[in-house]
Each structure stands twice: as structure tokens, then as C-alpha cells.
């Protein structure tokens, strides 16, 4: 989600010198498969500063391969077993209500044997890691009846704050919309909403009916410009609007294809939001995350997927977007953030999702609300 | 203020295994299990640091050498919240000087860290005294990248939690003077105008803000930010927005200038949809923009505006077409 978001690698991996024009005019599916297969085998050392989010890196690789219809190189059982090994387990049932979150940890650096003494937070389960874990398990077809949803969901409620927002960790951290989204997606995948108070979560997202009185007593999440930032008051942002709209959709507070059903009143100001979203397509065809910023590959997903949920994807100039994305296609596979740069895993994944949204042949369709293929989401 | 750990981190690194003060500790290797997925090709110094970290964390050793070690681990991986959390526990146990800690954190944050959680904890502990320091620090980050999302987010948190609103509107004004296209600064301006306890709130500030915004629009009508801001000034009060002479007046001025008028047309369209009764002046201005060959001149001003937008904003042509189809028929 950009240089402003937690999940982007700070250093680019080293690459062989480029001796040819890296631009191609078609989506180079085979090279992207090769790139992801290489990452699946070994991530180059600059990704070591992303170690804490290793599960999320795995999600990018595996979901990317699934979108490219290239899951055959993935040992599904080994993957499932590795993911499950990152699940936090309380020592006994009494611990279930000790205030901790028993989800999935992001990596081995935050995982310690349960008999460790001292700091209770040896369990560093994280909402984003849990979302990544469950997504991967869906993709590899793991039988969800074997997952102890009760434990995950009951303890997840410890993360929800009085204002409806979610912390990502029980040890405390800033709350924002990304974690509301993760919580909603987790409940949706586990088909059980006991993990969160949906009404309160909705309140956090909307927070007021957008009617301002003389002195602003309550923050309103939908920003003055129709968009959403990741916190009340924050600047509207492509990632923020995706988290807001996808969360509301997953929780069932907005229906499908809002634009066609414009007669029904909505809890969000849809016309204003739509106007803001569509203005994100820049003259170079790409999508920017915020007004007056450069186009960046990943927003083709954050913005494109939001439009798909709202029913407004037909309003973008697909040809222009396609053209922009190809300028970010790296000759050795993957996608870069900006045209002509080196690929990184995060932008490669979102570039690939964008091509799935554009209906590129040979790719699996994306379930936009969950960020995995339709096939994985439905289990068919 | 640079901490001791900081200075240490800048010297050429001596492996922990060769440091006498660590000779009693057995490093704890990472157990990746039999089939690790997406393994990372860690560098040896990263591995060693994390192995020693795991050892002290497991042993729950809250000492000053452990504190130094967390600094080294953080330099390798500033996003590691487990390390940050343990560091916080050590700081509490040692009753450490939090001003020094703030310096350390600021150093890490300048290197583009995204973990602001411990930053907040320290700032909260230091209380309102920390406010001006925090505002100075975020200002430093913003002077390098005036749109740094997390810096803005942290700045807003400081203002809401610790105060320091006095100069914030001026600060926005300065940033916009540097770059009128800085949407983050416009957003911050809205934040200040609507939430500062020192100003009167949106209604009280509206007139002066509208004047400022109109001036900015006229200087650069192609700038999306002030147009959105202008609409936002009437949030929750759409009728005022429709009826305010200043609003359709700025649209008219831009249309008459016949240059960079896409946002002006778009706002006019919104006004019409919310009940604006267009004057003859407005009709004439729109008509003057009609590109020949757009087809029949529509008696419905809204539809005419949509047709023009289809031509002059072609990347959104599908949207303008759809918008036109949704307009109610002229009475």
C-alpha cells in the first residue's frame, strides 16, 4: 500500500543490468510466473527488513501465482503446514480470555515456544498476518473445518476498541482502517461474525452522518472530499477507500453495485466518493493514490477494486490503464511502483491483480473484497 | 539528541560472538521448520543479531545490554514490533530517560520507519512538553517530503492528544505557498479549521476560507485540491453551497477564461444537480465552450455540460456519458 504503508519493502532487490529496452507491449505472463516462483524459493536479502511480515510476503507470492493460474509449483501441503505452524496457541483454555489475540504471527522472529517465561506478549499474533494466513489457506484449499475459529474470533474481540476501530496486536498499536478491513475479512473467511462488533466497526468508518454542527464534536471518517483516509481526519487515500468500502461490503452494510441501485439511500456519500475515485486516473493512464501525486502501479488495485465493488469499473479508461501498467512491467518479471524502475514483490502482486481485473486472458478472476481469486474464496 | 546506542550502530560492526560482554549468552537460532515458505536470504549480521535478540527475549532479560541489542535489531528491521515492544518493557524496567529515547526514535523515523507505536507511547509519557518537539520533528520530515502520509498522521495525533494548535494554520499557509498543489496541506488545513479549539469551527471560518480558496482556484484552476476543499467547506450544508454567490461565481470566472475549466464544469454540474438555477450569464459561458461537433445543443444545461466534459475530459468519457443519462429531464 505505498511508501506510506507498512507493507512495502524499503530497499529494492538487486537486479542484473538492463541492456535492452524494458518496455513490452503485452502482459508477459510467463516472466511474472518465473519471478514469483523465484521469490517462492528464496527472497533476496533486502527483504530481511520485511521479516516481521513474512506471512504477508508469502501471501503476495502464492496469491499472485494463483491469479496467474500457476499454482502447480506450490507444494500446497507444505505451505499449509508452514502457515499453521505460525498460529498462536494458548497454553490452556483459561488463557483464552487473558486479553491476548490468538491468531497468526507474521514470522518466526515473533514466535517463541509456549513454555517461555516472562513477557506475556511472546504471542505476537497480528491481524494482518492472520488475514494473510487465512487467505493462503483458502488458496491452497485447506479444509477450514480444521481451523479452530472459535479461538481466533473470541480473542479477536480483544483487539476492538470502544470507538469500533481495531488494534493489530494486543500489546497495543495505533488503530486504523487497514485493521478494520483485516478483521472484517477474517470474519468473512471464517464465516462467523462473532469476532467483531459490526455495528461499532461501521460507526468507526462512518462516525457521523456527515452533518457538521458549529463545533465539530465527532470526527467523520468520510472525508470532506468524499474519500476516506486510514484514520478520521487523515487525507483521503486509495488504500483508505478500499479498506472502507471493502469492509462495509464484507460486513453487509452496502450492497453490490451501488451505482445501479442509486435510488436506495446509502450510508456513504456515493456520488462524491465516485467523483473523487474517478479523478484518480491521471493523464498517463495510471492511478494515483491521492490528488496531485504520481501514478503508482498498486493503485490500479486499490482504486480498481473499489470501483468494482461500487459497480463503477466501467467508467475507467481501461486502455490507458493497460498502457500505463505495461510501462511498469519489469523485463525480468514483476512490476515496479513507477515506470521504468525495478520490480518489487508488493507492486508485482498488485500489478498482477490489476491485470486480472482488466480481464487479461489466462488469468483467474479476482474476488475483489477478499483479495484472493474467486476460486479460492468460494472453494470451488 | 543522539543516543549511545545510535553512536554504537554507526561504528564498524563487531560480531556479537566476539564481544566479551555477550560471552555468557547462547544465541537462539530461528527455527524455520522443515518446509519454510518464501525463505529470506538473510545476511549473517542480521541472523546473528536476531539470534541474540531471541535469546534475551526468551530469557526476559531487561538490562541495558538488552536495550542496546534492541537498538541494533531495530536498525536492521525497524518494522519489527516484537523488538519495539520488548524495548519498551526494558525502558520501563530501567526507568530510562525518555527524552533520550525520543531522540533515538526520531533518528529511526528519519530513516523511514513506519512503526509509530512506540513513538506515541514515549510522547504520551512525556506529555504536553513533547508537543512542540514532536511538531518540530514532523516538520523536519515534511520539509523533505511534504506529503509523507505517516508524518501527517502522527502530526494530527500530536495536535489532538498533546495540543500545539497555535501556529498550525500558518504552517498550512506556508506549505501551500511553497506548493499550492500539496493536497496533504489542504487536508491539514481542513483538519485545523474544523478541529482547532482556538478557531471558531467551520461555520465561523467559512467566509475567510472561501476567499482564500477562491483565490487559489483562480491562480491554478487545474488544481483539484482547492475545488474539493471549497465543496468541503460546505459539508453538511449543501444548500449554502448551492446558494453561495462566491461558488458559482468562481465557476463562471474560470469558464469565461476558457482555460483549464474541467473542474469548473464539474462543479457547475454538481450545483445544477443540487438545484442551482443557472443565470443567463452561466448559460452563455457554457455555450461559448461548446466544441463544434458535440451534437445538438441541449436545452438542458446539465446535459450540455456533460457533453462538453466528454470531449475535454476524455479519460472519463464513459462516466460523463453515464452521468448525462442519469440527469432528470429538464422541466
pLDDT for B3-15, tens place per residue? 555 555 566 889 9
**Burial (Cβ within 10 Å: 0-12, 13-18, ≥19) of residue B325:** exposed
Give mean pLDDT, residues A203-219. 46
Task: Pull the grid cell for residue B220.
Answer: 491554478
Chain A residues with CB under 8 Å of B152 CB are 234-235
Based on the structure, what is the number of domains in chain B? 1
Give mean pLDDT, residues B195-205. 93
Considering CB atoms only, which of B77, B150, B318 is closest to A49?
Answer: B77
CA distance A211 to B289: 36
Indicate whether B278 pLDDT > 80. Answer: yes
Chain B residues with CB under 8 Å of A42 CB are 38-41
CA distance B162 to B158: 5
CA distance B230 to B193: 13
Which of A9, A54, A224 to probe by mutation at the B interface, max B CB count within 10 Å? A224
CA distance B79 to B116: 9
Supply the pLDDT for residue A211: 28
The radius of gyration of chain A's CA atoms, rounded to the nearest angstrom, is 20
CA distance B132 to B155: 10
- Residues 273-292 (B) with a CB less than 8 A from some CB of A: none
Least confident of B3-7, B271-275, B276-280: B3-7
Higher pLDDT, A184 or A14: A184
Q: Is A131 helix (H, G, I), strand (E, B) or coil?
A: helix
Considering CB atoms only, which of B37, B43, B223 is closest to A58?
Answer: B37
Shortest distance between the Cα of A169 and any Cα of chain B, in A, equals 9
Indicate whether B68 pLDDT > 70. Answer: yes
Interval A242-256: pLDDT, tens: 999 999 999 999 887
3-state DSSP: chain B helix, strand, coil percent, rounded to 5?
A: 70, 0, 30
State the sign of the Cα–Cα–Cα–Cα dihedral B139, B141, B143, B147: negative
Average pLDDT score, chain B: 89
User: Is the distance from CB of B268 to CB of B289 less than 8 angstroms?
Assistant: no
Half-sphere exposure of A256 (CA within 13 A, CB side): 3
Interval A244-289: pLDDT, tens: 999 999 999 988 778 876 656 678 888 999 999 999 999 999 999 9
Supply the pLDDT for residue B137: 87
Q: How far is residue A189 from each of residues A89, A150, B117, measured CA to CA in Å?
A: 20, 13, 28
Nearest to A334 by CA among A82, A68, A101: A68
Annotate A236-254 with DSSP letters as a single string.
P-HHHHHHHHHHHHHTTSS
| Catalytically annotated residues of B | 114
Shortest distance between the Cα of A274 and any Cα of chain B, in A, equals 10
Annotate B223-263 with DSSP letters as a single string.
-HHHHHHHHHTTTT-HHHHHH-HHHHHHHHHHHHHTSS-HH
Interval A127-168: pLDDT, tens: 999 999 999 999 999 999 999 999 999 999 999 999 899 999
Chain B residues with CB under 8 Å of A237 CB are 149
Using a CB–CB cutoff of 8 Å, tell me whether B138 touches chain A.
no
Does residue B237 lie within any of the structural domains? Answer: no
Indicate whether A218 pLDDT > 70. Answer: no
Shortest distance between the Cα of A209 and any Cα of chain B, in A, equals 9
Q: What percent of chain A shows pLDDT beyond 90?
A: 69
User: Is the distance from CB of B85 to CB of A120 less than 8 angstroms?
Assistant: no
Nearest to A100 by CA among A176, A173, A157, A182: A157
Nearest to A129 by CA among A148, A104, A108, A152: A104
Chain A residues with CB under 8 Å of B40 CB are 42-45, 47-48, 50-51, 54
Phi, psi of A309, deg, nearest 5: -65, -40
Task: Pull the grid cell for residue A315.
Answer: 467508467
Is A124 close to B85, i.e. CB distance below 8 A? Answer: yes
Report the predicted TM-score, pTM, of the whole model to 2 decimal places: 0.91
Which domain range does residue B26 map to?
A: 1-96
- Residues 253-272 (A) with a CB less than 8 A from some CB of B: 262, 272
Chain B residues with CB under 8 Å of A236 CB are 187
User: Is the distance from CB of B288 to CB of B315 less than 8 angstroms?
Assistant: no
Average pLDDT score, chain A: 86
Least confident of A312-321, B84-93, B295-304: B295-304
Does residue B59 lie within any of the structural domains? Answer: yes
Phi, psi of B36, deg, nearest 5: -65, 140
Does residue B255 lie within any of the structural domains? Answer: no
Does residue B27 lie within any of the structural domains? Answer: yes
Shortest distance between the Cα of B163 and any Cα of chain A, in A, equals 15
Shortest distance between the Cα of B259 and any Cα of chain A, in A, equals 17
Using a CB–CB cutoff of 8 Å, tell me whether A52 touches chain B.
yes
Does residue B133 lie within any of the structural domains? Answer: no
Strands (E) in A84-220, as ranges, are: none
Does residue B36 lie within any of the structural domains? Answer: yes
Considering CB atoms only, which of B34, B40, B202 is closest to A51?
Answer: B40
Using a CB–CB cutoff of 8 Å, tell me whether B13 touches chain A.
no
Least confident of A214-228, B4-18, B121-135: A214-228
Q: Give B209's contacts (C-beta < 8 A, 6+ positions apart).
A: B189, B193, B229, B233
Phi, psi of A85, deg, nearest 5: -70, -15
Phi, psi of A278, deg, nearest 5: -65, -30
Q: Is B73 helix (H, G, I), strand (E, B) or coil?
A: helix
ipTM of the complex: 0.90
Indicate whether B298 pLDDT > 50. Answer: yes
Indicate whether A327 pLDDT > 80. Answer: yes
Using a CB–CB cutoff of 8 Å, tell me whether B147 touches chain A.
yes
Does residue B83 lie within any of the structural domains? Answer: yes
Does residue B67 lie within any of the structural domains? Answer: yes
At residue B113 the predicted structure's pLDDT band, cuts being 50, 70 and 90, is: low
Considering CB atoms only, which of B59, B150, B157 is closest to A4?
Answer: B150
Using a CB–CB cutoff of 8 Å, tell me whether A53 touches chain B.
yes
Using a CB–CB cutoff of 8 Å, tell me whether B76 touches chain A.
yes
Considering CB atoms only, which of B40, B156, B229 is closest to A47?
Answer: B40
Amino acid at each position: 500500500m505505498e511508501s506510506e504503508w507498512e507493507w512495502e519493502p524499503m530497499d529494492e532487490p538487486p537486479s542484473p543490468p538492463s541492456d535492452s529496452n524494458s518496455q513490452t507491449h503485452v502482459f508477459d505472463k510467463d516472466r511474472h510466473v518465473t519471478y514469483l516462483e523465484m521469490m517462492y524459493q528464496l527472497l533476496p536479502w533486502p527483504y530481511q527488513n520485511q521479516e516481521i511480515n513474512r506471512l504477508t510476503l508469502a501471501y503476495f507470492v502464492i496469491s499472485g501465482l494463483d491469479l496467474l493460474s500457476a499454482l502447480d509449483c506450490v507444494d500446497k501441503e507444505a505451505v499449509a503446514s508452514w502457515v499453521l505452524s505460525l498460529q498462536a496457541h494458548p497454553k490452556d483454555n483459561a488463557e483464552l480470555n487473558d486479553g491476548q489475540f490468538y491468531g497468526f504471527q507474521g514470522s518466526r522472529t515473533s514466535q517463541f515456544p509456549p513454555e517461555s517465561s516472562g513477557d506475556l506478549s511472546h504471542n505476537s499474533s497480528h491481524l494482518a498476518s492472520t488475514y494473510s494466513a487465512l487467505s493462503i489457506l483458502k488458496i491452497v484449499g485447506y479444509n477450514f473445518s480444521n481451523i479452530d475459529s472459535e479461538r481466533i474470533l473470541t480473542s479477536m474481540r480483544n483487539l476492538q476498541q470502544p470507538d469500533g476501530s481495531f488494534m493489530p496486536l494486543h500489546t497495543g498499536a495505533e488503530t486504523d482502517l487497514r485493521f478494520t478491513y483485516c478483521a472484517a475479512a477474517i470474519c468473512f473467511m471464517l464465516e462467523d461474525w462473532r469476532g467483531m462488533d459490526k455495528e461499532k466497526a461501521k460507526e468507526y468508518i462512518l462516525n457521523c452522518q456527515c452533518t457538521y454542527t458549529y463545533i465539530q464534536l465527532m470526527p467523520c471518517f468520510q472525508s470532506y472530499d468524499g474519500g476516506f483516509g486510514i484514520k478520521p481526519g487523515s487525507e483521503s487515500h486509495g488504500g483508505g477507500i478500499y479498506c472502507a468500502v471493502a469492509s462495509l461490503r464484507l460486513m453487509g452494510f452496502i450492497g453490490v453495485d451501488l451505482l445501479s441501485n442509486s435510488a436506495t439511500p446509502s450510508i456513504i456519500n456515493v456520488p462524491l466518493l465516485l467523483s473523487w475515485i474517478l479523478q484518480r486516473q491521471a493523464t498517463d493512464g495510471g492511478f494515483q493514490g491521492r490528488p496531485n501525486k504520481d501514478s503508482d502501479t498498486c493503485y490500479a488495485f486499490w482504486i480498481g477494486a473499489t470501483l468494482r465493488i461500487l459497480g463503477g469499473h466501467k467508467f475507467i479508461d481501461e486502455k490507458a490503464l493497460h498502457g500505463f501498467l505495461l510501462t511498469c512491467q519489469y523485463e525480468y518479471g514483476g512490476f515496479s511502483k513507477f515506470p521504468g524502475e525495478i520490480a518489487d514483490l508488493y507492486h508485482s502482486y498488485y500489478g498482477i491483480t490489476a491485470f486480472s481485473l482488466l480481464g487479461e486472458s489466462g488469468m483467474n478472476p479476482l474476488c475483489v473484497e477478499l483479495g484472493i481469486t474467486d476460486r479460492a474464496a468460494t472453494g470451488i | 539528541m543522539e543516543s549511545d546506542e545510535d553512536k554504537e550502530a554507526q561504528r564498524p560492526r563487531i560480531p556479537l560472538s566476539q564481544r566479551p560482554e555477550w560471552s555468557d549468552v547462547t544465541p537462539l537460532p530461528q527455527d524455520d521448520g522443515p518446509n519454510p515458505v518464501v525463505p529470506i536470504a538473510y545476511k549473517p549480521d542480521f541472523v546473528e543479531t536476531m539470534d541474540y535478540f531471541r535469546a534475551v527475549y526468551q530469557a526476559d532479560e531487561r538490562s541495558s545490554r538488552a536495550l542496546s541489542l534492541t537498538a541494533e535489531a531495530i536498525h536492521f528491521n525497524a518494522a519489527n514490533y516484537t523488538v519495539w515492544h520488548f524495548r519498551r518493557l526494558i525502558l520501563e524496567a530501567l526507568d530510562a530517560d525518555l527524552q533520550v529515547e525520543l531522540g533515538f526514535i526520531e533518528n529511526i523515523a528519519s530513516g523511514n520507519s513506519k512503526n509509530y507505536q512506540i513513538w506515541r507511547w514515549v510522547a504520551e509519557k512525556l506529555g504536553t512538553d513533547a508537543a512542540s518537539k514532536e511538531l518540530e520533528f514532523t516538520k523536519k520530515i515534511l520539509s523533505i517530503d511534504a506529503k509523507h502520509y505517516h508524518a501527517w498522521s502522527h502530526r494530527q495525533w500530536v495536535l489532538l492528544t498533546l495540543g500545539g494548535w497555535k501556529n498550525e494554520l500558518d504552517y498550512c499557509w506556508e506549505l501551500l505557498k511553497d506548493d499550492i498543489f500539496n493536497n496533504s496541506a489542504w487536508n491539514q488545513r481542513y483538519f485545523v479549521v474544523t478541529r482547532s479549539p482556538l478557531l471558531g469551527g467551520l461555520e465561523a471560518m467559512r467566509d475567510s476560507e472561501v476567499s482564500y480558496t477562491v483565490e487559489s482556484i483562480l491562480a491554478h484552476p487545474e488544481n483539484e485540491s482547492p475545488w474539493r476543499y471549497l465543496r468541503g467547506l460546505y459539508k453538511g450544508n449543501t444548500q449554502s453551497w448551492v446558494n453561495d454567490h462566491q461558488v458559482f461565481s468562481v465557476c463562471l470566472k474560470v469558464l469565461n477564461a476558457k482555460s483549464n475549466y474541467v473542474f469548473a464544469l464539474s462543479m457547475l454540474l454538481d450545483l445544477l444537480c443540487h438545484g442551482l438555477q443557472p443565470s443567463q450569464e452561466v448559460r452563455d459561458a457554457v455555450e461559448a465552450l461548446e466544441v463544434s461537433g458535440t451534437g445538438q445543443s441541449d436545452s438542458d444545461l446539465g446535459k450540455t455540460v456533460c457533453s462538453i466534459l466528454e470531449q475535454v475530459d476524455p479519460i472519463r468519457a464513459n462516466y460523463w456519458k453515464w452521468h448525462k443519462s442519469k440527469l432528470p429531464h429538464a422541466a
